[in-house]
Amino acid sequence: MKTVWCLGSINIDLFYDVPHIPAPGETLAATGHSSGLGGKGANQSVAAAKAGAKVHHIGAVGQNTDWVIERLKSYNVGTAQIAISDDPTGQAIINVASDGENAIVILSGANRTLDEAAVSAGLAGAAPGDILLVQNETNLQIEAARIASDQGLRVLYSAAPFDADATQQVLPFTDTLLLNEIEAEQLQQTLKQSLFELPVKNIVVTLGPKGARWISTQSRDVFETPGIQVEAVDTTGAGDTFAGYLAAALARDFEPAEAMAFAGRAAALKVTRKGTADAIPTLEEVEVFDP
Residues assigned a catalytic role: 240
Residues 6 or more apart whose Cβ sits within 8 Å of residue 206: 178, 179, 180, 181, 212, 239, 242, 267
- Which of 106, 121, 134, 164 lies closest to 41 in space, CA to CA? 134
R_g of the chain, CA atoms, integer Å? 18
Residues 6 or more apart whose Cβ sits within 8 Å of residue 176: 154, 155, 156, 157, 200, 201, 202, 203, 204, 246, 250
For residue 216, which phi and psi values (nearest 5 degrees)? -100, 110
What gap in Å lies between CA 242 and CA 160, rounded to an integer? 13
What gap in Å lies between CA 29 and CA 16, rounded to an integer? 9
What gap in Å lies between CA 6 and CA 75, rounded to an integer? 14
